[in-house]
Amino acid sequence: MAHLFVISAPSGTGKTSLIHAILNDEMSEKTKLGISCTTRKIRDDEENGVSYFFLKEDEFSQKINDDEFLEFAEVFGNFYGTPKAWVLSTLSEGYNVILELDVQGAIQVKKAFPEATTIFIIPPSYADLENRLSKRNQDSQAEIKKRLSKAKEEIKSGEDFEYLVTNDNFDSAFADLASIVFSNKGISSERKNLASKCLDHLLDH
């Protein structure tokens, strides 16, 4: 039976890389990544209905009024939302759907769609997260500090998710995620205990 998975994580935790690995796995034939609606301008390398559904602001507002989103948010002046109809249609076709959302979006979806499985990916430590953010060479030190501060806020919601996955090692984190998405087995007690300890450590710092 098709299922909705909502995956969230602080910036720099490796969420996008793990999701891409899941989607490229041979087991992912019946799994699709959710497509969001957005009011931001389309880029040259994007195609409407593939990367995003691109809408005008008044169209987006109308969809909000008509309760057509599982969740929506404003990010840097642009609106993003998960279209309810697309998710339900894709699930009815027998495909699992993965939504890659921030913490608040994940919580909104869980309220609107209680059957969804929520997964939160955490780093083994803040030092590890800071190291990953620095290695990306995308952000200034000030921006990295801002992302770490936001991560501390997001991690406070970790206990609200059904599954915790620790990305201490990419292959191990991938195996955890694959076990949840492809076989509904959850994760091993050893990995579950590790995630719980890591979350406690993060919450204490």
Domains in the chain: ranges and CATH: 4-34+95-203 (3.40.50.300)
User: What pLDDT sits at residue 137?
Assistant: 80
> What whole-number distance in Å separates Cα of residue 51 and Cα of residue 61?
20
Q: Which residues pair with 97 in a beta bridge?
A: 4, 32
Q: Quote the pTM value.
A: 0.91
146: phi > 0 → left, psi -120 to 50 → alpha, else beta; which?
Answer: alpha
What backbone phi and psi angles, to 5 degrees, belong to 41? -70, 145
**8 Å CB contact between 79 and 73:** yes
CB 177 within 8 A of CB 13: no
Within 8 A by CB and 6+ apart from 125, the residues are 198, 201, 202
Q: What is the pLDDT of residues 52-83, one digit of tens each?
A: 999 999 999 999 999 999 999 988 789 999 99
pLDDT the model gives residue 138? 79
Find tokens 């500090």 and name the residue: 145
**Among 160, 81, 110, CA closest to 5:** 110
Q: Where residue 155 falls among pLDDT bands split at 50, 70, 90? A: very high
> What residue spans of 24-169 are helical by DSSP H?
57-65, 84-92, 103-112, 126-135, 141-155
- pLDDT tens across 105-148, in order? 999 999 999 999 999 999 999 999 999 999 888 788 998 999 99
- At 96, is the secondary structure helix, strand, or coil? strand
